[in-house]
Amino acid sequence: MDTRSLLRTTGIVIAAGGLLLSGCTSGGSEAASGSASGAASASPSPVPAALRPYYEQKLTWRECGVAGFQCSTMKAPLDYADPGTPDSAKAIDIAVSRRVATGPGKRLGSLVVNPGGPGGSGIGYLQAYAGIGYPAAVRAQYDMVSFDPRGVERSSPVECLSGPEMDRFTQVDQTPDDTAERARLVTAFKEFAAGCQKKAQRVLPHVSTVEAARDMDLLRSVLGDEKLNYVGASYGTFLGATYADLFPGRVGRLVLDGAMDPSRPALELNRDQTAGFETAFRSFAKDCASQPDCPLGQGDPDAVAERLKEFFAKLDAQPIPSGDSVRPLGESLATTGVIAALYDESAWPQLRTSLTDAMNGDGAGLLALADSYYERAPDGKYANLMAANAAVNCLDQPPAFSGPEAVDAALPSFQKASPVFGAGLAWASLNCAYWPVKATGSAKPLAAKGAAPIVVVGTTRDPATPYKWAQGLAAQLDSGTLLTYDGDGHTAYGRGSDCVDTAINRYLLQGTPPPKNKRC
């Protein structure tokens, strides 16, 4: 139901089950035996005395999850203003995984990767894709590393609703037509927030991106690296840029792919993203209209879009069977299924088939796409993606809207940004209005003055992170350089462009950033 600022890599969205692989369980230094690494490394600036016990901790690694991967647990302060010690009740567990550099060639240290979200599991992403799918030359010279950020899956996760409660939440009408439907939507947001407060009261005030970035500096140190080498995708670009702004002297080689613009407030981010999904849908519509099996008919993208709107309206009035007796396909789930497929143009054939089936009365295909987006497993259990996503977003910035009246005022601008998705995404942006914890962050440019060169990657028709966000971030960063991919889909690295991959691989392996304003 709530697609607001859910920014993560393509593979996590489309993969069935949301990459919910059997990862490793966390284990501290007293866990099973393994190689230890990492006293505190030399840093360009001293570590505060109160944090030294955390920076000086050692990780004990053990085999876990998928063959070739190791796992450990890092301790971090719940509250950096009152850190306590790693063995105190003031510490939390941060789950970490790695795959050691395979060689040959000189080891370049660790490469930390983040798949976005916020709320995406870094460990799931590493073990399912990055640790085995990144270019062989990169994996040969780097230890591939990731972690579940605080509040996510294996790292003191935020929990809000049960599986059945989430099923009901994702079906609430997100385009309310009358006072009763508006009230039900507001009630759903309030119940979600109350569930988070009840189940995650301890961690809820401490899952901000700033705190996750500080955890990442701890990780850099305990891995034994003087500088952080990092590839962040989608929301992971905001995490990486925040790190660079906090610790510019500790920046190694940073790639920020599918970039966010940290200077834009929540309302603008949500409206920009709405326009991004419209751009992506029009690319799909143009392609669909050229295919003989397009369920939305032939004609220009406007005509195709109008037919999809009409179909959504029919589902709003009367959901169709989906193969799940308690989850018929209504407008909210169908919209989410379509949005999920827009992340990657390789999913367009699947979307055509799912729409064809749905328009013939079978909603199973679109429901499966929606489930992949929400990371709902076949047994009805959800990963904590949506809970962590809301918790981080609502802490990082003040809410986009204060109440339904503010949504009403903004609806015309959202509908202009996307005639197809505008109304639903405007109402979805109301979720933080009822959050139990006041925001601690705000929109502001991040300069990271003095940092080594940082590569920012933008895709011209990216649905989730509009290209202008990459332009904005690259301009803000003191050492940012923009690499442009003229194409469709969310993010660019490892998605089929030899030009993009060659430029990023050269930077990661040799330290040479792409030429200014390089376009692929």
**Cα gap 301→289, rounded to integer Å:** 8
Q: Do the beta carbons of residue 97 and residue 69 sit within 8 Å?
A: yes
Chain-centre distance of CA 193, in angstroms?
Answer: 20
- DSSP states of 165-219: HHHHHHHS-SS--SHHHHHHHHHHHHHHHHHHHHHSTTTGGG--HHHHHHHHHHH
Helix (H, G, I), strand (E, B) or coil at 99: strand
**Cα gap 302→283, rounded to integer Å:** 11
3-state SS track over 18-64: HHCCCCCCCCCCCCCCCCEECCCCCCCCCCCHHHHHHHCCCEECEEC
- DSSP states of 428-467: HTTGGGG-SS-----------TTPPPEEEEEEEE-SSS-H
Supply the residues annotated as catalytic.
Answer: 234, 462, 490
Amino acid at site 101: A
**Cα gap 35→59, rounded to integer Å:** 8
Angstrom CA distances, 114 to 7, 123, 164, stand at: 11, 9, 29
Kind of pairing between the strands at 142-147 and 91-99 = antiparallel
Q: Do the beta carbons of residue 373 and residue 389 sit within 8 Å?
A: no
**Cα gap 248→241, rounded to integer Å:** 10
Q: Could you tell me the two tokens for 478? A: 């003191």
Q: Could you tell me the two tokens for 344? A: 């990657």
Amino acid at site 404: P
Q: Do the beta carbons of residue 480 and residue 474 sit within 8 Å?
A: yes
Q: Could you tell me the two tokens for 205? A: 């005030």
Angstrom CA distances, 491 to 116, 257, 315, 486, stand at: 11, 6, 31, 11
**Cα gap 110→224, rounded to integer Å:** 9
Angstrom CA distances, 307 to 277, 311, 465, stand at: 17, 6, 26
Cα angle: 244, vertex 249, 250; to 5 degrees:
70
Show contacts of 167-170: CB within 8 Å, 24+ apart. Answer: 167/326, 167/327, 167/380, 169/1, 170/1, 170/332, 170/333, 170/336, 170/370, 170/374
End-to-end Cα spacing for the chain: 35
